[in-house]
Every structure is written in structure tokens, then in C-alpha cells.
Amino acid sequence: MFIDEAKIRVKAGDGGNGCMAFRREKFVPRGGPSGGDGGRGGDVVMESSQRHNTLIHFRYNPEHKAQRGEHGMGSNCTGQDGESVVLQVPVGTALYDEETGELVHDFAQSDERIVIAKGGRGGRGNQHFATSTHQAPREHELGRPGEERRFRLELKLLADVGLVGYPNAGKSTLISRISAAKPKIADYPFTTLEPNLGVVSVGEEPERQSYVVADVPGLIEGAHLGSGLGVQFLRHIERTHVLAHLVDVSDASGRPDPVEDFKVINKELTSFGHGLDEKPMIVVATKIDAANPDKLKKLQGHARRRKLEFHAISAVTGEGIEDLKWALARRLRPEKA
């Protein structure tokens, strides 16, 4: 199950209380105060990891609490510090403060680690309050409470290329042909209900180049307002460097105008914002093994007028696939340098 949003509540450990104690040893008639300090509460730490690719482990376990510090003891013994809790998130997770909506941290790389809730300081024992005129103090401090916060987690996939287009445009079939990804493929809309990632390699060693392609499902008219799968998955192409816009030029789609299909999806990208309309784009005519020649010619002419690179492919026969793979690699080469 692909879960890309979650809300969590975290509570850092409270500090241990300081101790009030006096030395009671033989041959030490004036032992004085000997209350130790309380231990510090544990922190709540968040770390990005390659071992996770969804937020499902937070969806069903939303509360996380660190250990409190032990109380101070006699003989000036300090209580043990509480153990911290480490929460692992996938690379690409954005952490937001639930109350203010402020972005706390964007985990863009593996093994990034931040403290999201600090443990409370331990209280001081009565040994710290002794003075020359107050030699038997009974004052001692309570431990400070640990921070308690609420966060919203949002996963945005890290991919180099984003495949966009109407449902049934051939995105899943393409990613299955150019990578080892095995998405569900069927002849009906919204077959893909979650993003799929695939690694594409071109060239031979030592010049081999690899890049990650994301198949983003659910784009239809009104997607930026929540229609179809809406903004649920649009954000997954925010981090991509290049967009491959797939348009079905066969008659199987039931939509008569491929240029209108292209404009509708582009309008959704523009309406969503976040710079999606400014990303480099390659127009890809799909299903050319069953293409309507008029549709293919019309889409190609529109791409030429927009000065967009154009490729025609058939994922079934493999025609044009290698050229497309190399075209995407060339677009990404400056980004990889």
C-alpha cells in the first residue's frame, strides 16, 4: 500500500526530578546534602532512510514517545538519561508543523537527521543549593517537561523524469518497457492508483547513464481541484527535472483531439503551480502501432509550433523506445553534471 501522507504526535521524554538526600555515614557527623540530579529526557529524532518508500508505518502508529530521565538519587548519584526515539522516513519526505503549517525540514538526501522534539532537562538535587549559611537545604528541582509537538508528513517522490498524461495514455506500459518496474496494466482508466518508479539505463560502461522515471497517475481535467486522483499525486512531479507528456494518438481513447488532451493536462500543471509549467517537456505520441494518422500529424505540428521535442512510440512493438530513452538522458545530462 502506498501511503504518502501522515500526521503524527511526538512527545520527548521529561527530565527526572532532582533528589533531596543527606549523607548518613558512620564517622561523618556533618555529611551534608547529597541529592543527585535527575537525568535528561530522551529526544525524538527523525532520520531519512533508503529502507522505507512509504509512510505506512506512521499511518497506523501516529504517536511516538521518548523515555523520560530517571530521578536523581542519594550519594550525589545522577539519574540515567532517557533513551531517544529515532523515527525513519523515506527520502523525499517534507515535515510540516501541524499547527503553523511551516516547513520544518525537507529530507532530500539519505541519512539526514534532525531533532524534532527536545527532551526535558533534569532537575537539580539539593546538593546544588548548599551555601555557607544554608548548609542543610531541602530545596530540589523537578525535571522539565519534554517538548510535545504535532507534525504532518508529506512524501514527494524523488525522480528525474515524470510521465504525465491522461489515464490510459500508456504511461504504465512505457515504464514497464524501459525499466524493471511492473505496474498494473489494463485497458480501463485509472488502472494505476499509486505512483510507480523505475530506473532506466542507457549506454554501455563506463559511459552508462541511469535515471529514475516516475509514472504519475490520475491526471484529468480539474485534477488541481481534486478531480480524479487530483493533487494527491501531482506533488510527486514537483522534484522532477523533465516531464514526458504522453498523448494517445489512437482512436481507442475515445477522445477526438490529441492537441486538446495535451492542452488540458498542461493547464492542470499550470494551475497546480510549484513551477510544473516551467519544467522542460518532451511530447510523446503513444500507441502509434494503432495510430490515427491525422491525430499523429496534428499533435506533431502542435509540438513543432510550441518548439517542444517530439517523439512517437509504440510500447507494444518497441518502436521509438530507444530514441526516447536517449532523448530523456540528454535532457538530464546537465542536471546530472
pLDDT-derived band at 273, boundaries 50, 70, 90: confident
Rounded to the nearest angstrom, the gap between the alpha carbon of residue 85 and the centroid of all alpha carbons in its chain is 20
Q: C-alpha distances in angstroms, 8 versus 47, 56, 58, 146, 307?
A: 15, 12, 7, 16, 46
- The whole-angstrom separation of Cα 203 and Cα 90 is 30
What mean pLDDT comes out for the span 245-264?
Answer: 86
pLDDT digits (tens, 9 = 90+) for 234-247: 777 777 889 999 99
Average pLDDT, the chain: 85
CATH code for 5-155? Answer: 2.70.210.12
- The Cα angle at residue 159 between residues 154 and 164, in degrees rounded to 5: 90
Residue 186: other Cβ atoms inside 10 A: 10
For residue 276, name the pLDDT band (cuts at 50, 70, 90).
confident
Other beta carbons less than 10 A from residue 260's beta carbon: 14
Query: How do residues 26-36 score in pLDDT, each as one tens digit?
Result: 877 777 899 99
Mean pLDDT for 170-188 is 69
Q: How confident is the model at residue 24 (pLDDT cuts 50, 70, 90)?
A: confident
Point out which residues pair with 6 in neighbouring strands.
153
Q: Which whole-number Å values give the CA distances from 242 to 44, 69, 116, in the listed order?
A: 37, 50, 33
pLDDT-derived band at 83, boundaries 50, 70, 90: very high
Select, from the ranges 133-137, 180-184, 203-207, 273-277, the one with the highest average predicted confidence (pLDDT): 133-137
pTM of the entire predicted model: 0.71
What cell numbers appear for 321 in the block?
Answer: 523506445
Enumerate the domain spans of the chain: 5-155, 161-336
- Summarize the confidence of residues 276-282 as an average pLDDT: 86
CA gap 196, 179 in Å, rounded: 11
Give, in degrees to the nearest 5, the angle at Cα 163 between 160 and 165.
Answer: 155
Contact yes or no for 117/8 (Cβ under 8 A): no
Under 8 Å between Cβ of 215 and 164: no
Percent of the chain with pLDDT over 90: 45
Please report the pLDDT score of residue 222 as a whole number.
55
CATH classification (class only), 161-336 = alpha beta
One-letter identity of residue 146:
G
Per 3-state DSSP, the chain is made up of helix, strand and coil in percentages (nearest 5) of 25, 25, 50
In the DSSP assignment, the letter for residue 221 is T
Nearest Cα to Cα of residue 246 among 236, 234, 258: 258
pLDDT of residue 157: 73
